[in-house]
Amino acid sequence: MNTALHRLLLLLLLVLPWAAQAGDAADYAKASPAKQARLLESWAAAPAPERLPLIEALRANRVAIDQNKTPFIEENGAYRALEGDAEPVGTPKKLRLNNRLRGLLNTALASHQLFAEDPAQRLAAAKRLQRSGQPEQLELLQQRLDVEEDAAVSEALTLALANLQLTASDPAVRLAAVRLLGETGAPLARVRLENLLADEAETDAAVRKAAETSLAQVKRKLLIGELLGQAFSGLSLGSILLLAALGLAITFGLLGVINMAHGEMLMLGAYTTYMVQVLMARLAPEALAFYPLVALPVAFFVTAAIGMALERTVIRHLYGRPLETLLATWGISLILIQLVRVLFGAQNVEVANPGWLSGGLQVLPNLVLPYNRMVIIGFALFVVLLTWLLLNKTRLGLNVRAVTQNRNMAACCGVPTGRIDMMAFGLGSGIAGLGGVALSQIGNVGPDLGQSYIIDSFLVVVLGGVGQLAGSIFAAFGLGIANKILEPQIGAVLGKILILALIILFIQKRPQGLFALKGRVID
C-alpha cells in the first residue's frame, strides 16, 4: 500500500511539471473556487519552478481574466498574457481570492520557495510550512530535507516534517515525530505537543508517553531560552541606565549637586542624532548607514558645550546650596524640554536604525538578540572604559578626583577648582549626550525622552554611591537585571515599587551606597 502510494506520488512528480506547462494559469482561471483549491493543494505537494511567477502574481492580486477566461497579468495598468501571446478581449476582470484560497496560495508559494537559492528564503518557507503544511506535502518535505545543506533550514524543515507526521495514521511515524519535536525546543513544538496531549487527541499509549517526555524536554529548553532572554534584556537595560547615570554620578560626586537637567542632555543627544541623520541624508546619502558613528562626537560636543554653559551661567552661583541647585536645574530642564517642543514639535521624530543595527541574532528558537541592543551593551562598556581612563590616567582626571575628595585641600594645592568643575560638568553632560545617541537607536525620540530615565538614573547614583565608577556599574546592571527578572513575575509597575522599597531598605544598611569613598566628612 505504502509503496504503491510512493510510486503514485513519484509518477505525479514526474508528470506534474510537464503538465504545468500545459497551462496552469488557464486551468486555474477556468476552475471553480473548489477546484482552484484542489489545484493549489496539488501545486503545493509538487512544486514546479515555472509556476512561481503565476503564484506570486496570484498572491499579489495581479491576475485577471478576459471574456474568454484567458488569464492575464496586470503590470502598471497594462495586461500581458500569462501563457502564449493573446490580447485581452474586453476589459479583463481581476481574479478574486477568498481567505481559504489565500492560505493555500501561501502554502503553495512556500513549497515553491523551498527550492530557492537564498537560504533565508528557504528558511522562511520552511517556517511557514511549520504552521500551514498539508499532509500531501510530506513527501516533498522529506525529499527537501535529504538534500538541504543549511543547518538552520534543515532544522526548520525537520520541525515542519514532524508537525505533519503527527497526523500520520502509523503510530511508529507519530512516535518518531514526537521524539523529533522534543529535540527542537521551538515554541511551536510545545503548542503541537500540548494539543496532542489535550482532549485525548492521541490514543496510542506509547506515543502519549513519548509526547509527555518530549513536552517536558521542550519546556526545559524554552525555559532556558526565556531566562537567557531576561538576563539579556536586563543587561541591555542596565547598560542604558549606566549610560544615563554615569555622567550624573560624576557631577554629583564632584559638586554634590543633583543635575535635574541631566535627562534633558540625553534628550538633546538623541535630537542631535536626528539632526545628523537628516543632514547626512541630504549631504552625504552614500554614507548614511554610518550616521550613528558621526553622531557620537557631534552629540558629545553639543551636550558638553551646553553643560559647560549651564555650569558657567547658573550652577556656579549656587555652590554650597545643593537643594537650590536641584530646583534651578529643574527649571533649566523645563526650558529645554519646551524649547525642543517649540523647535521640533511635540511629536516624536523619526530616527531610523541603519541596516547594520537592525535585525538580530537567533540563538535559540525563542531567543533573538537584537543587534542594536548588543552594540549598546558593548558601547556602554566602552564608554565606561574611556571614562575610567580619563579619570585615572589623565591630569584632568587626577584633578577631578582630588576635588571630589576634598575641595578645599585641592584648592590649596593649586588645583583650579572652578575650571575643573566646568570641565567635569561638560564631561558628565557629554557622556549623557553619548547615551542619547544610544537611546535614539532603541526607543522613541521625543521631548520627554529624558524624563523617563531621570528617576531611574538617580536611583543608580543613590544605590551605587558617588565617586566610584564601580558603584555606578554594579548599581546600573543590578537594577537593570532585577527590573527585568521581576517584570514578568509581578508586572512592571509592582516590580518598580518593590525595587524602590528594596533600595530604601538597602540604604538602611549602607547609607553611602554600595561603594562609598573612604574618609571622614562632617558638616
Partner 1 sequence: MNQPLTLTAAQKAGPKATVIALGLALAVLVAMPLLHLLPAEHALHVSAYTLTLVGKILCYAIVALALDLVWGYAGLLSLGHGLFFALGGYAMGMYLMRQSAGDGLPAFMSFLAWNELPWYWYGTSSFLWAMCLVVLVPGVLAFVFGFFAFRSRIKGVYFSIMTQALTFAGMLLFFRNETGFGGNNGFTDFKTILGFSISAPATRATLFLATVALLTGSLYLGFRLARSKFGRVLTALRDAENRLMFCGYDPRGYKLFIWTLSAVLCGLAGALYVPQVGIINPSEMAPTQSIEAAVWVALGGRGTLIGPLLGAGLVNGMKSWFTVAFPEYWLFALGALFIVVTLYLPKGVIGLIKRRGE
Query: Which residues, 6 or more positions from 357, have their beta carbon under 8 angstroms from its beta carbon?
Result: 292, 371, 372, 375, 441
Give yes or no for a contact between 244 and 457, defined as CB atoms under 8 angstroms apart: yes
Three cell numbers, residue 394: 589623565
The answer to the question of residue 490 lying near partner 1 (CB under 8 A) is no
Three cell numbers, residue 317: 552661583
The answer to the question of residue 469 lying near partner 1 (CB under 8 A) is no
Q: Which is nearer to partner 1, 258 or 377 (CB)?
A: 258
The answer to the question of residue 502 lying near partner 1 (CB under 8 A) is no
The answer to the question of residue 511 lying near partner 1 (CB under 8 A) is yes
Give yes or no for a contact between 82 and 115, defined as CB atoms under 8 angstroms apart: no
The answer to the question of residue 11 lying near partner 1 (CB under 8 A) is no
Give yes or no for a contact between 157 and 126, defined as CB atoms under 8 angstroms apart: yes
The answer to the question of residue 332 lying near partner 1 (CB under 8 A) is yes
How many C-beta neighbours within 10 Å does residue 418 have? 14
Three cell numbers, residue 48: 514546479
Pairing mode, strands 78-81 and 63-65: unpaired
Q: Which is nearer to partner 1, 37 or 318 (CB)?
A: 318
The answer to the question of residue 338 lying near partner 1 (CB under 8 A) is yes
The answer to the question of residue 520 lying near partner 1 (CB under 8 A) is no
Q: Which of 15, 334, 363, 413 binds partner 1 (CB under 8 A)?
A: 334
d(CA 457, CA 479): 10
Which segment (42-50, 327-335, 367-375, 417-425) binds partner 1 by CB under 8 A? 327-335
d(CA 207, CA 90): 60
CB-count exposure of residue 146 (10 Å: 0-12, 13-18, 19+): exposed
Q: Minimal distance in Å, beta carbon 59 to partner 1?
A: 42
Q: Minimal distance in Å, beta carbon 455 to partner 1?
A: 5
Q: Which of 3, 32, 408, 508 binds partner 1 (CB under 8 A)?
A: 508
Give yes or no for a contact between 459 and 325, defined as CB atoms under 8 angstroms apart: no
The answer to the question of residue 318 lying near partner 1 (CB under 8 A) is yes
Q: Minimal distance in Å, beta carbon 328 to partner 1?
A: 4
Give yes or no for a contact between 254 and 239, defined as CB atoms under 8 angstroms apart: no
Of 387, 100, 41, residue with least CA distance to 248: 387
Q: Minimal distance in Å, beta carbon 330 to partner 1?
A: 6
The answer to the question of residue 326 lying near partner 1 (CB under 8 A) is yes
Residues 401-460 that bind partner 1 (CB under 8 A): 455, 458-459
d(CA 183, CA 172): 17
The answer to the question of residue 317 lying near partner 1 (CB under 8 A) is yes
Q: Which is nearer to partner 1, 252 or 474 (CB)?
A: 252
Size of the site for partner 1 (CB under 8 A): 43
Summarize as ranges the residues that interact with partner 1 (CB under 8 A): 252, 256-258, 314, 317-318, 321-328, 330-335, 337-339, 342, 455, 458-459, 462, 493-494, 496-497, 500, 503-505, 507-509, 511, 522-523
